[in-house]
Structure 1
Amino acid sequence: MNRRISSAALNVPLPPEEAFRLFTARGERDWVPGWEPVFPVETPDDTAPGTVWLTASHEEETTWLVASRDFPRSVSYARITPGVRAGTVTVTLAATEVGSEVTVTYDMTPLTPAAAKTLDEFATEYPSFIRSWEELIAAHLADHIDVQP
């Protein structure tokens, strides 16, 4: 079993200072169907290093922890799905003429052979996975913010 590192970029028509929120635990609620992070303790700033939240889907529960934050340039999350996989998700934002280029990197280690197979499939589909994020964000912004193409 080997570590899997998948990285891809998407474009968001907002400057990094505004786009950053879209890649936080609470901000993803706005555009990710079914995303419902649960905070075990009251958390006024969901990007503060050390902040923990939980998500559940497909019969798995994942624990997330903010590992680092450099607003508005980057945020890194540790994530552990017990008995399945563990690793980090890092989001970096760079200003462009029309908004932000956002690079999302998953660095995951499988904890079982079955998880290794699933991570291989995830890596193969990763570019389309990130394209779907761009589409979901664009649809959200079109509904909520006056964004000029």
Structure 2
Amino acid sequence: MRLTGALTVPLPPDEAFRLFTARGEELWVDGWQPRFPVPVEDDTEPGTVFETGAHGEATVWVVLARERGRSISYARVTPGSRAGTVSVTLEPAGRPAREYGEASEVTVTYDLTPLTGTAARELEDFAAGYPAFLASWQSAIETWLAGGGNRPA
């Protein structure tokens, strides 16, 4: 199942990029706590592996590729449930964001394969709620920024 959608982030792409990395998502995603089985300095380096336990599911992630400030893609496997990729691409939105300068249009593509019948039904539900899911990302980032969140380095 391939799902693509977009959100707007009130930061320029070179700053917004960090919000879509393993460590950067900790800033605005409740419960996001990536664990690195091998210590890494750069969590965007292709080949970097990390694990998450969000929503009660253990997922293994691998950074596939990245172009700093422009895109990052991950392979992800939730054993016994689903496997696939997640890609994030950032472009200038072509309009300013009030206090942060340029805004970014962020395109997020999930390409997932269910590994069980139950997972297939769960993916159908995820697809039905995908626009709201991405809207919640936008809202969470805006809330974090409005609350005095440190701008990504």
The answer to whether 1:40 aligns with 2:9 is: no
Q: Distance in 2 between matches of 1:40 and 1:53?
A: 7
Q: How far apart, in 1, do the equivalents of 2:31 and 2:147 lie?
A: 18
Tell me the TM-score normalised to structure 1 length: 0.93
- Counterparts of 1:1-149 in structure 2, within 5 Å, are 4-96=1-93, 97-98=95-96, 99-144=103-148
Structure 1, gaps ≥5 residues long: none
Q: Name the CA distance, whole Å, in 2 between partners of 1:123 and 1:51.
A: 28
4+ runs of 1 displaced by more than 4 Å?
none
Secondary structure of 1:7's match? strand
3-state secondary structure, aligned to 2:37: coil
Could you tell me how far 1:144 is from its partner in structure 2? 2.0
Identical amino acids, percent of aligned pairs: 57
Taking structure 2 as the reference length, what is the TM-score of the superposition? 0.90
Give the AA of the match of 2:59. T
Across the aligned residues of Structure 1 and Structure 2, the Cα RMSD in angstroms comes to 1.4
Gap change, CA 1:146 and 1:36, over 3 Å in 2? closer
State the distance in 2 between where 1:89 and 1:24 align.
11
Instruction: Give the length in aligned residue pairs.
Output: 144
- Helix, strand or coil for the counterpart of 1:144? coil
Unpaired runs of at least 5, structure 2:
97-102
SS at match of 2:80: coil
Structure 2 counterpart SS, 1:130? helix
